[in-house]
Structure formats: C-alpha cells, structure tokens
A = this chain, B = another copy of it.
Amino acid sequence: MTGIQMSDEVAITAQSDQLYLDDLHVGQRFTTGTYRLDEAQIKSFGLQFDPQPFHTDEHAAERTFFKGLAASGWHTAAITMRLNVESGPPLAGGFVGAGGEVSWPAPARPGDVLHVESEVVEVTPSRSRPERGTIVLLSRTINQRGDVVLVQKAKLVVLRKVAA
C-alpha cells in the first residue's frame, strides 16, 4: 500500500510489481499458486460461518445433497481471494471489490489442491475520478483434476498511474 504514495511511479512498479489501471487490458491472463484444502479447514470454516452437516461432519454429509464433506462456498470464495491477493494480478491499491457474480459449479472437497486462473474482461476508467477506475476480472478456481469449483466475475477498483 505504501507504494502508491511514493513519487516515482516507474520505480514503484519495478520495485513492487504493481499493476495500475493503465497497465491492464482486456484479455490479460493470470494464474496463481496453489492452496491445499483439508478436512480440518473445511470443518473449522463450516463451524464458524456455515454450520451445516455437509460442511462439518463427514458422516452426516454422506446423507446430504453433497454426498460427502464439501467446503462451504464462502470458504472456496475466501480461498480464491487469498490466492488472488498472494499470487494473482498485483493490482495497485490492492484487491478492492465492489461486487460481482459468483457460482459454484462443483463442490471443493478435502484434499483438493486449488488454483485460480483469471482474465481481465473489462477495463473502465472512472469518469468522475481521474485517479482510479474499475476492471472486471473473471476468475475460475480449479482443483487438481481440472474441476471448476468457483467462477467469479468481480468488479474491482484499481488506481491509475496519476495516483502514484
């Protein structure tokens, strides 16, 4: 975050690897590192935020819609965020979401190794605020078998170089 308050934007980008709105274009793609999901994580998140048997109890989960323990969709979304923040596009100002669409084509399961593939699908400078704009980033979170466990179309606020 301190990068955006420094004066020499070239040095900042080189130093911090940050991408400003001006650096982004439709069709640009990014792939993150991986995150290994296990049973303990699924249950812990489930107990805290989504206390339903298919997220908290592997035996009870067998008799549900999911036919086994599955991660809460919000857990998968949170892991997607972590992957994007840590190894996705290094957006200037950080990952600040205004909103978007999310869907879960398949559940994430214990043992899944997840990564995120994303693509810039819109770049829109703000009309009223010259120092920022928005992008729409389409992300797919994918497990080791190639199953897509989350699809997200996120509208993100990104700084322009004039802000640096």
Q: What residues of chain A have their CB less than 8 Å away from a CB belonging to chain B?
A: 1-2, 5, 45, 48-54, 60, 63-66, 72-75, 77-79, 81-82, 85-86, 93-104, 151, 157
Contact = CB atoms under 8 A, between A and B. Distances in A.
A1 B64 contact: yes
A17 to B, nearest CB: 14
A43 to B, nearest CB: 15
Contacts of A74: 74, 77-78, 81
A98 B104 contact: yes
Contacts of A72: 78, 81
Contact of A50 (B48, B60, B78): B78
Contacts of A50: 78, 81-82, 85, 95
A86 B51 contact: yes
Counting from the closest, the 8 A-B pairs by CB-CB distance are: A99-B103, A49-B78, A74-B78, A52-B94, A49-B82, A1-B53, A50-B81, A101-B101
B100 A65 contact: no
A60 B3 CA distance: 12
A15 to B, nearest CB: 17
A103 B66 CA distance: 27
Contact of A79 (B1, B49, B96): B49
Contacts of A73: 97
Contact of A94 (B64, B95, B102, B103): B64
A65 B132 CA distance: 11
